[in-house]
Structure 1
Amino acid sequence: MTAITALKTKDLINVGIYSALYFICMGIAEGATTLITGLLLPGFTSIFVPGIVGLLAGPVYMLLCQKVPRFGAITIMGILMGLFFLISGHFALAFIPYALCGLVADLIQSLAAKAEQPKRGLRLLGYTVFTFGSMGPVIPLWFMKNAYVASLVKRGKSQDYINTLFSHITGPTLFACIAITVAGAVIGAYWGGKLVDKHFAQGQGTNRG
């Protein structure tokens, strides 16, 4: 059983490193999705981005769980990702989902770290919850349209941009976004766990979480 203890200086350094790697995965996911959907499915970028983030960032999350099996690490990473949304000009409330999802995922991971039996399912669940934090910038598209439009106008976005952004924001696309996010997270967690177990698990002993 892995003891859940206070984060140490080395742990905080590792959290910073893995947060930077996760940030890079987010950037790649957003850039690639914007390019592909811009060519093939204009207006659908926001629906696909969270799922692509989940698909690409799985190894980073699993490696963080492996290297820093202590409560607080995932919460900090979630807060850092939320702060990135906040300072990069996204809708103000985009910070909240990553912070909350990070905390819940951390609680799930703490259960996984203390489990005697294999805990791959708990890690997968935790990562899926964490990935929903990446929906922070897009959730207001469905539930806070007027405030979101006002924020876009304040940022100097054109009416054509706003119309394109909202052209496919409907009830069915909300469920599609959720389904794509879950699918991306599950696949990302699966291949991320396999990759970490293959290349980083040896010699970890009881610290595997």
Structure 2
Amino acid sequence: MKQASFSVKDLVNAGLFSLLIVIVSFVSGMIGFLPITMPIVPFFGALMSGPLFMLYSTKIRRFGMVLVMGLVSALVFVATGHTILIVLGTVLAALLGEYILKRGDYRSIKHARWAYVAYSLSSCANLLPIYLTRDAYMQKVIDQGYGKEFAEQMFSVLPDWSFFPVLLLGALGAYLGCTIGIKMLKKHFSQSGMA
């Protein structure tokens, strides 16, 4: 019988994997310090954190574990200066990921991979200000000390139409990262009863 509420172990796993995924995302996001690489930041972050999520998926047995992970991650992003949009984007993407995991009864590797692909879409919420408030966001980047040249280069590689291609590229990174994780973690999946 499934436990209705979270155990201490569930919360520890959610917190630990949240922080690991945030750290990997931040480190991966450092490639964005080169403005021309901004369009691939979601791809690279999802690619690098996909194996971690697949390991985390071996610990998930009930609804809410991805949502808790997402909320912890979103709050860390907000605390480090990202907009509140990341919270909304993360909650929506995490709920979609939860639904996908539930469809696989928390035992399907395939569903776990697609759950992370869905969850990875939340990373693009950080990019929304670039598309929704271009002038104000460009000024914010300049005011934060990156300089006008950096801001102009970044915005030149993120034209108005690029949001959905960047979103899809991030989803591809998640899919590939999870695929790498599946190959690396076969033993963990069999031990946890996932197929």
Normalized against structure 1, the TM-score is what?
A: 0.81
Residue 170 of structure 2 corresponds to residue 170 of structure 1: no
For 2:177, the equivalent position in structure 1 comes to: 188
Deviation at 1:99, TM superposition (A): 2.2
For 1:56, the equivalent position in structure 2 comes to: 48
Residue 125 of structure 2 corresponds to residue 136 of structure 1: yes
Flag the 1:114–1:51 CA change in 2: closer, same or farther, 3 A: closer
1:76-155 aligned at under 5 Å gives the runs: 76-113=68-105, 119-149=108-138, 151-152=140-141, 155=144
Greater fraction helix: 2
| Cα distance in 2 for residues equivalent to 1:158 and 1:92 | 24
Percent identity over the alignment? 24
Letter of the aligned partner of 1:68 in structure 2?
I
Letter of the aligned partner of 2:187 in structure 1?
H
Unmatched 5+ residue regions in structure 1?
Answer: none
Question: Are the counterparts in 2 of residues 91 and 148 from structure 1 also a CA contact under 8 Å?
Answer: no
| Cα distance in 1 for residues equivalent to 2:109 and 2:84 | 34
Q: In the alignment, which of 177, 184, 189 is matched to residue 201 of structure 1?
A: 189
CA RMSD of aligned residues (A): 2.4
| Cα distance in 1 for residues equivalent to 2:3 and 2:135 | 44
Letter of the aligned partner of 1:64 in structure 2?
Y
Deviation at 1:101, TM superposition (A): 0.8
| Cα distance in 2 for residues equivalent to 1:179 and 1:44 | 18
1:57-72 aligned at under 5 Å gives the runs: 57-72=49-64
Normalized against structure 2, the TM-score is what?
A: 0.86
Letter of the aligned partner of 1:76 in structure 2?
V
Flag the 1:185–1:11 CA change in 2: closer, same or farther, 3 A: same
State how many pairs are aligned.
Answer: 195
Question: Are the counterparts in 2 of residues 3 and 114 from structure 1 also a CA contact under 8 Å?
Answer: no
